[in-house]
Amino acid sequence: MIKEITMPAGGQTTDTSTVGAWLVKKGDKVKRGDELLTVETDKATLSVESFAKGTVLAILVEEGDSAAAGEVLALIGDESDRQEAEARAGGGSASGHGAAAMPVSQTEEEEDEYQPIDPSGPVRYASAPKQEQAPSVHTDTGEVKAMPNAKLLAREHGISLSDAAAFTGKHILKRSDVQNYIEDAPRRAAAEDAAVTEVPLTSMRRTIARRMLESSQNIPVFRATVEVNMERCIAFRAKVNDNKAGFKISYNDILFKCMEAAVRKYPYVNASYTDSAVLLHKDVNIGLAVSVDDGLIVPVVKAVNEKNITEICEANKANISRAREGKLTADDMSGGTITLSNLGMYPVTQFDAIINPPEVCILAVGAVQEKPVLEDGQWSAVPVMNLTGSFDHRVVDGAYGAQFLAELKSLIEDPAMALL
């Protein structure tokens, strides 16, 4: 029986997503959990896994083409389904992936390719010769795994699996990935002597570029910055963490709760803009910008207005962990109503963040720094933090945005008030 691989739901602004790259071709055998393709939504690049075992009988949507949520992208089945699949595909699959059909019988080597093996075990491969090195711009490969065929080919050519993974951008290598790395060796060798290194855009980087351009071109933004005295906030965090054995809240968790409390008073900051109306959201769904190896993603904590500080902390920790492990789903990154971007872990004192449409506000916080303050005729060093709001001027006017920032500033300076 044929199994349909369909386009997952996109982001909140569209039901259409784009096929970024096919990781399989017609005739490939797959099993449940194998990555089939990458999909570019309006939020990020996601991988689509197979939910069934079988052979890829047809690929119906080309790389770079868009499809609506639920539209069939590929067909998986066994040999008895091949005629039906080819009929549905109009005589064949997408031209870019129409490899010859795989015969019914498989060699032992081909069968073994579908059993992932962790190369960090006893078998180690020599580093590639200098001309075989992947470009240094391809960064962390994480925990690299490889099919047996891929391991065998890498060993025959003296290739490091980590280098091949960095080149392909994949964490599970197939024989074809290693072969592509080998065939690309002349280009890499020539690039070493070039004055300019060409770094191919990843799917995530293309998505980020498209989203940032969409925001900057379509949203009239105004920005405002307030300076926040962090003395009480620092003390509040220390007190909470001292009283909870093994449990530590972050400044982001406190900021989430303060943002939620301020939004209750200024609901137009927790809104979305459409051509016919402004949508005021009942729930406060806060996105947190998270840096990952190949870009930036924004997981969302849903219904912060229904969560206490402990639940917010747990949700943030889980989202950050899944983000850095590449395990976020489309639902994890959709539904945001306001976003926080925090560069306080770096020596950045103030910056402007780009609004994440269709939201109308994003907050940017910098590092806490000590600043001399004159109080009652005495100078003292006070920890302060700059908080910058970027607002969609189609929804939020200057005075309203300033009032929201003033309310948020007062809550951060006395965070216990946000818990009332």
pLDDT digits (tens, 9 = 90+) for 325-371: 888 888 899 999 999 999 999 999 999 999 999 999 999 999 999 99
**Tokens, residue 3:** 């199994």
Q: Which of 143, 175, 192 is the last residue of a domain?
A: 192
Task: State whether 244 and 100 are in the same domain.
Answer: no
Task: State whether 253 and 397 are in the same domain.
Answer: yes
Q: Which of 175, 192, 209 is the last residue of a domain?
A: 192
Task: State whether 113 and 260 are in the same domain.
Answer: no
Task: State whether 161 and 248 are in the same domain.
Answer: no
pLDDT top residue among 99 and 260? 260
Tally of structural domains, the chain:
2
Task: State whether 183 and 267 are in the same domain.
Answer: no
Helix (H) or strand (E) holding 5: strand 3-6
Task: State whether 160 and 223 are in the same domain.
Answer: no
Question: Do residues 177 and 164 lie in contact, with contact meaning Cβ atoms separated by under 8 Å?
Answer: yes
pLDDT tier for residue 9 given thresholds of 50, 70 and 90: confident
Task: State whether 412 and 335 are in the same domain.
Answer: yes
Give the CATH number, domain containing residue 10. 2.40.50.100
d(CA 371, CA 368): 9
Instruction: Find the mean pLDDT for residues 146-155.
Output: 83
Task: State whether 258 and 386 are in the same domain.
Answer: yes
Question: Is the residue at 382 inside a domain?
Answer: yes
**Phi and psi dihedrals of 14, rounded to 5?**
-155, 155
- Res 390: pLDDT: 98
pLDDT tier for residue 220 given thresholds of 50, 70 and 90: very high
d(CA 171, CA 181): 14
Task: State whether 96 and 224 are in the same domain.
Answer: no
* Radius of gyration in angstroms for the set of CA atoms belonging to the chain, rounded to a whole number: 25
Question: Is the residue at 199 inside a domain?
Answer: no
- Res 200: pLDDT: 80
pLDDT tier for residue 190 given thresholds of 50, 70 and 90: confident
Whether 196 has a pLDDT exceeding 60, the answer reads yes
Question: Is the residue at 76 inside a domain?
Answer: yes
Whether 114 has a pLDDT exceeding 90, the answer reads no
Q: What is the pTM of this model?
A: 0.64
Whether 103 has a pLDDT exceeding 90, the answer reads no
Whether 94 has a pLDDT exceeding 70, the answer reads no
- Res 108: pLDDT: 38
Give the residue from 212, 390, 222, 389 showing the smallest Cα distance to 296: 212
What is the set of active-site residues? 393
The residue range of the domain holding 308 is: 219-419
Question: Is the residue at 366 inside a domain?
Answer: yes
Task: State whether 352 and 298 are in the same domain.
Answer: yes
Task: State whether 62 and 124 are in the same domain.
Answer: yes
pLDDT top residue among 139 and 288? 288
Q: Which of 176, 192, 208 is the last residue of a domain?
A: 192
CA distances from 304 to 5, 66, 68, 316 (A): 34, 33, 30, 11
Q: How many helices (H) and strands (E) does the chain have?
A: 11, 21
Which amino acid makes up residue 50? S
Q: Which residues contact 213 (CB under 8 A, 6 or more apart)?
A: none
**Tokens, residue 195:** 């004055």
d(CA 103, CA 173): 22
pLDDT tier for residue 33 given thresholds of 50, 70 and 90: confident
Q: What is the rounded average pLDDT for all residues in the chain? A: 82
Task: State whether 258 and 333 are in the same domain.
Answer: yes
Question: Is the residue at 61 inside a domain?
Answer: yes
- Res 186: pLDDT: 85
